[in-house]
Structure 1
Amino acid sequence: MPNAIVYAVPLFILLLVVEMLWGAWRHKQTFALSDTLSSISLGLSGQVVNLFVRVLNFGVYVLAYQYLALFELDTSQWWVWAIGLIGYDFCYYWHHRMGHEVNLLWASHVVHHSSEEYNYATAMRQTSTGFLSNWVFYWPLALIGIPPTVFVIAGAVVLGYQFWVHTRHVGSLGWFDRWFCSPSNHRVHHGQNAYCVDRNYAGVLMIWDRMFGTFAEERPESEEPIIYGIHGQLKTFDPLRANFHKYGDLYADFRLADNWKDRIKVWFARPGWRPAAAERLDPKKPYDIAEFRIYRPRISTATSIYCVLQMLLLMVLGLGLLAFAAQMPLTWKLLGAAWVLATVWIMGRTLENRPGHARWQWLWLFSLSVPALIVHQHWGLPPTWAALLALPLLGVLAFALLRAVRQLQPVEA
């Protein structure tokens, strides 16, 4: 049975295009091409990684349900579903909040906040390392007897709901903002302004933020426009660096710490805390939001067109991998995943105009033999047919790449 995300992604992309067209019509565009492609790349990367680790989160829940459940709840009762949805939303609040208040968890969640735009592409920007800690926060639902089916569907509802709130085109919704997570409330959450930091964690119900003192109301744009992104800009479209740069920073401080108390604390302290020895040996310049300049390297029109074509192909092949991975042998699944991750890494270099990216792109054209081989092995499509079908596509991509190489421009941060 195909992965459920295969059905959701086309809808997300459709909504993304609608938002883009709406912004163009209103002369208030909230998309930047490089950032959008980067966000989609990170979302696809996360889903590919989940092919191999999703069983961890669900498996832990099932084990907790089988051996720790205090009650047996019947899925035919409506109130079981109601408790499951509200309970999942409550657990999500604390999961999300700890993702901002604990260094190790922030190192994973920071990916979602690293975009300096705010739109439906930002909603797709997800971490690839969340599996390391996600399972910690939901087992209490198993303890009270919420069946795994209810747990899975409640999670899909709570997470799916949050897609639509990632937009700047929906203003205040009055009473709705008071009780539910809304675009206005969630814009605050993604801001790096002082009043926005560590606020509005709710997935669906804002009552949790109001109960636990983390709610903040959006201020008028004319008074204080929200600046999106993170303190200490990422300044890269490299998906590997986006996913692991905070882990690297924490490990560096761990090594610089001069006592074991600080070496342990560095992983569990609030983001921003550093051991005294690390501050002394490797001082960091204090972040000043007034110095913020959006990261948008300049690339040629030809390069932009090439990367869009590359992303369209990647989406088709990537979704194909997600849809049929359950039917594939592990070897072919690993090969397909490696190809997707290598592709988004190469695209990231191209979007930054990194030195030597053209050579990587030529290698990538040859690497299209990998998905062709997987298709041949899995469905028995004759190699000659695959080659004939691929030739027009390769010709278009090669032509676009040649044009892009001839129009190289220097990077501007």
Structure 2
Amino acid sequence: MEAAQIIVLVAPLFFLLIGVEYWVGRRRGRNTYRLNDALSSIGLGMLSQLVGGLTKLFTLGIYVWVYEHWAWLPGLSTDSLMVWGSGLLIYDFLYYWHHRFGHTVALFWAAHAVHHQSEDYNLSTALRQTSSGWVAGWIFYLPMALIGFPPLVFVVVALIDLLYQYWVHTQQIGRLGWFDRWFCSPSNHRVHHAVNEPYLDRNYGGILILWDRFFGSFQEELDEEPCVYGTRDALRSWNPWVANWHVYGFLLKKTAATPGLLNKLRVWWEAAHWQPPGVSPAKSEVYDPRAQQRFDPQVSAQRRGWASLLFLLVLGLSSWGLWQAHLLTWWQQAGVMAVVMAGLCGVSWLCSKGAQTAPASRAKPA
């Protein structure tokens, strides 16, 4: 069975848990959902899966080629539990560094920023994934191919690591005692998504939080510092095209304005806020996350209804495209992706056209 088909089969469970989380939040008086934000996040996840199908010949193809030509331990058996267990452990370690570079290197942040753009934090946020991870993210996992882990092991442990991280995107589960000390948990991952100064660029672990403790990037959730979510350079758009490419656009403009070839290259290797020597950074004030307003355009119930209906149609097409991907040509898959993108742009338009941004605090309950 293809990985895309597994995602389609698991999707009903995702939506069921979203419904449960929404119900629990309403019962507790701590609802963490907005329709516009949730549709945007889930839509970006759908788009990411479709793009992944189009680019897997590139990303997985590189892994397979390195495995077939450079593996140090060829012949590792897929029948061995030790191979699977060590493969998952090594993948999680490599994921930690991929994730950490995704916050500290502009090229990787341009892709990863998509996942952090939501100013809400709930299970729909977990589905909010980039469509440009294929550009360079594959580099981090080549050590598994060099060691000799078969492509099947790589694909399966990557899927396990990804699926594990779904449940930690919630504000409805508090601290879990000893579990928080060893594993990525809701409390630990809330810190990771927060823009508060003590929490910024912390807790990168996928399954194990031990990597953060070993490498000095761990921060526990503080009672006196409720998490505020999003990015400091807020997106303020529901458009999936803007969400995926606006950081790249910023970096391209910065590159053009930066003198010297070496400094132009450093724009992409340094952190996104880096300035070349001799260039004064923009004047900045102390950042107060609670002083910011969430992007929350208010539209009529009729527009929300049309947006929801269009979204369901796009969701159905996306699910069909993922399920049939192995039977479709590359161009047919690209056609499905283009129609999904157009549909999601329509949802974005319905959720924001002609609306006014409501004054809402970004502070949310932890």
**Cα 1:350–1:278 shift into 2, 3 Å:** farther
Of 261-270 and 160-169, deviating more is 261-270
- Is residue 208 from structure 1 mapped to residue 215 from structure 2 by the alignment? no
Alignment-mate amino acid for residue 311 of structure 2? M
Q: Distance in 2 between matches of 1:352 and 1:32?
A: 13
- Is residue 157 from structure 1 mapped to residue 160 from structure 2 by the alignment? yes
Alignment-mate amino acid for residue 136 of structure 1? I
Is the contact between residue 231 and residue 287 of structure 1 (CA under 8 Å) also seen in structure 2? no
Is the contact between residue 191 and residue 228 of structure 1 (CA under 8 Å) also seen in structure 2? yes
**Cα 1:182–1:332 shift into 2, 3 Å:** same
Counterpart of 1:27 in structure 2 is: 29
Query: How far is 1:274 from its partner?
Result: 2.5
Q: Secondary structure at the match of 2:236?
A: coil
Counterpart of 1:96 in structure 2 is: 99
Q: Distance in 2 between matches of 1:341 and 1:308?
A: 15
Counterpart pick for 2:114 among 94, 101, 111: 111
**Cα 1:5–1:257 shift into 2, 3 Å:** same
Counterpart of 1:51 in structure 2 is: 53
Is the contact between residue 257 and residue 276 of structure 1 (CA under 8 Å) also seen in structure 2? no
Is the contact between residue 299 and residue 411 of structure 1 (CA under 8 Å) also seen in structure 2? no
Q: How many residues align?
A: 355
Write the deviation string for residues 92-144 of structure 1: whole angstroms up to 9, x where unpaired.
Answer: 00010000010010011000000000001100000000001121001111122
Query: How far is 1:41 from its partner?
Result: 1.1
For structure 2, the 5+ residue unaligned runs are 360-366
Counterpart of 1:134 in structure 2 is: 137
Query: How far is 1:285 from its partner?
Result: 5.3
Query: How far is 1:53 from its partner?
Result: 0.2
- Is residue 241 from structure 1 mapped to residue 237 from structure 2 by the alignment? no
Is the contact between residue 41 and residue 118 of structure 2 (CA under 8 Å) also seen in structure 1? yes
Q: Distance in 2 between matches of 1:323 and 1:212?
A: 40
Q: Distance in 2 between matches of 1:52 and 1:93?
A: 25
Query: How far is 1:330 from its partner?
Result: 3.7
Q: Secondary structure at the match of 1:261?
A: helix
Query: How far is 1:286 from its partner?
Result: 5.0
Counterpart of 2:268 in structure 1 is: 267
Of 36-45 and 143-152, deviating more is 143-152
Counterpart pick for 2:38 among 22, 36, 39: 36
Q: Secondary structure at the match of 1:288?
A: coil
Q: Secondary structure at the match of 1:165?
A: coil
Q: Distance in 2 between matches of 1:286 and 1:263?
A: 27
Alignment-mate amino acid for residue 238 of structure 2? F
Alignment-mate amino acid for residue 288 of structure 2? I
Is the contact between residue 306 and residue 350 of structure 2 (CA under 8 Å) also seen in structure 1? no
Is the contact between residue 237 and residue 243 of structure 2 (CA under 8 Å) also seen in structure 1? yes
Counterpart of 1:296 in structure 2 is: 296
Alignment-mate amino acid for residue 226 of structure 1? C
Q: Secondary structure at the match of 1:6?
A: helix
Look at both structures and tell me which one has the larger radius of gyration over its CA atoms: 1
Is the contact between residue 353 and residue 411 of structure 1 (CA under 8 Å) also seen in structure 2? no
Is the contact between residue 256 and residue 278 of structure 1 (CA under 8 Å) also seen in structure 2? no
Counterpart of 1:80 in structure 2 is: 83
Counterpart of 2:199 in structure 1 is: 196
Query: How far is 1:190 from its partner?
Result: 0.2
Q: Normalized against structure 2, the TM-score is what? A: 0.93
Query: How far is 1:253 from its partner?
Result: 0.8
Is the contact between residue 253 and residue 274 of structure 1 (CA under 8 Å) also seen in structure 2? no
Alignment-mate amino acid for residue 254 of structure 1? T
Is the contact between residue 50 and residue 128 of structure 1 (CA under 8 Å) also seen in structure 2? yes
The structure with the largest helix share of the pair is 1
Query: How far is 1:277 from its partner?
Result: 7.2
Q: Distance in 1 between matches of 2:241 and 2:330?
A: 23
Counterpart of 1:143 in structure 2 is: 146
Aligned-pair Cα RMSD in Å:
1.7
**Cα 1:65–1:331 shift into 2, 3 Å:** closer
Query: How far is 1:203 from its partner?
Result: 0.3
Q: Distance in 2 between matches of 1:126 and 1:278?
A: 34
Q: Secondary structure at the match of 2:245?
A: helix
Is the contact between residue 93 and residue 201 of structure 1 (CA under 8 Å) also seen in structure 2? yes
For structure 1, the 5+ residue unaligned runs are 355-408
Is the contact between residue 117 and residue 231 of structure 2 (CA under 8 Å) also seen in structure 1? yes
Q: Distance in 1 between matches of 2:326 and 2:130?
A: 22
Q: Distance in 2 between matches of 1:330 and 1:100?
A: 32
Query: How far is 1:410 from its partner?
Result: 4.0
Counterpart of 1:402 in structure 2 is: none
Query: How far is 1:303 from its partner?
Result: 1.2
Is the contact between residue 103 and residue 266 of structure 1 (CA under 8 Å) also seen in structure 2? yes
Query: How far is 1:24 from its partner?
Result: 1.1
Is the contact between residue 299 and residue 352 of structure 2 (CA under 8 Å) also seen in structure 1? yes
Counterpart of 2:66 in structure 1 is: 64
- Is residue 219 from structure 1 mapped to residue 190 from structure 2 by the alignment? no
Write the deviation string for residues 358-400 of structure 1: whole angstroms up to 9, x where unpaired.
Answer: xxxxxxxxxxxxxxxxxxxxxxxxxxxxxxxxxxxxxxxxxxx
Is the contact between residue 297 and residue 351 of structure 1 (CA under 8 Å) also seen in structure 2? yes
Is the contact between residue 187 and residue 221 of structure 2 (CA under 8 Å) also seen in structure 1? yes
Query: How far is 1:268 from its partner?
Result: 0.5
Q: Distance in 2 between matches of 1:80 and 1:254?
A: 44
Q: Normalized against structure 1, the TM-score is what? A: 0.83
Q: Distance in 2 between matches of 1:172 and 1:134?
A: 31
Counterpart of 1:178 in structure 2 is: 181
Q: Distance in 1 between matches of 2:337 and 2:81?
A: 40
Q: Secondary structure at the match of 1:240?
A: helix
Q: Secondary structure at the match of 2:197?
A: coil
Counterpart of 2:339 in structure 1 is: 339
Q: Distance in 1 between matches of 2:280 and 2:322?
A: 44
Of 286-295 and 172-181, deviating more is 286-295
Alignment-mate amino acid for residue 117 of structure 2? S
